[in-house]
Amino acid sequence: MHIRAYRDSDLPLLCQIFLRAVRETASRDYTPGQIAAWAQVDETRWRQKLADSIGLVAVVNSQPVGFITAIGTHIDLLFVSPDRARQGIGGALIEALCVQYPAQILTVDASITAKPCFTAHGFKVVAEQRVAARGGVVY
């Protein structure tokens, strides 16, 4: 595995990774209604979001298998393909991103599913949150 900068051409595969990670990996921690509200992609919005972010992509055999983004010092997205879950890819992406921000405090609004990965890499829970998503679904 190697980690490289995000490229615009990555967008379709990263959207697929996101959708699969939410539907397959996060489904252990969230209800079907919460998953349905979360598992939506507006590619135009995502393209702009990624253009405004620092993005790193984990690649195995020339295929993206995970990604992380940050806007300023806030980690916005971290998703790993369900086929590669729990193989250290999320942690490697967190560590690679932290190198981009030496001696700075990074924040994240982590999902229930991602929280153990972040805490294993030194992040602390400051407050639990409830998020209202599309259709008023709370998670």
How do residues 7-17 score in pLDDT, each as one tens digit? 999 999 999 99
pLDDT of residue 130: 60
How do residues 94-130 score in pLDDT, each as one tens digit? 999 999 888 788 888 878 888 888 888 887 877 766 6
Q: How confident is the model at residue 137 (pLDDT cuts 50, 70, 90)?
A: very low
**Considering the entire predicted model, what is its pTM?**
0.86
Closest CA to 35 of 48, 26, 44, 47: 26
Q: Which H or E run includes 19?
A: helix 11-20
Beta bridge partners of 78: 68
- Domain-wise residue ranges, the chain: 2-136
Asked if 117 contacts 91 with a C-beta cutoff of 8 angstroms, the reply is yes
- Fold held by 2-136: Aminopeptidase (3.40.630)
- What span, in angstroms and rounded, lies between the C-alpha atoms of 97 and 56? 7
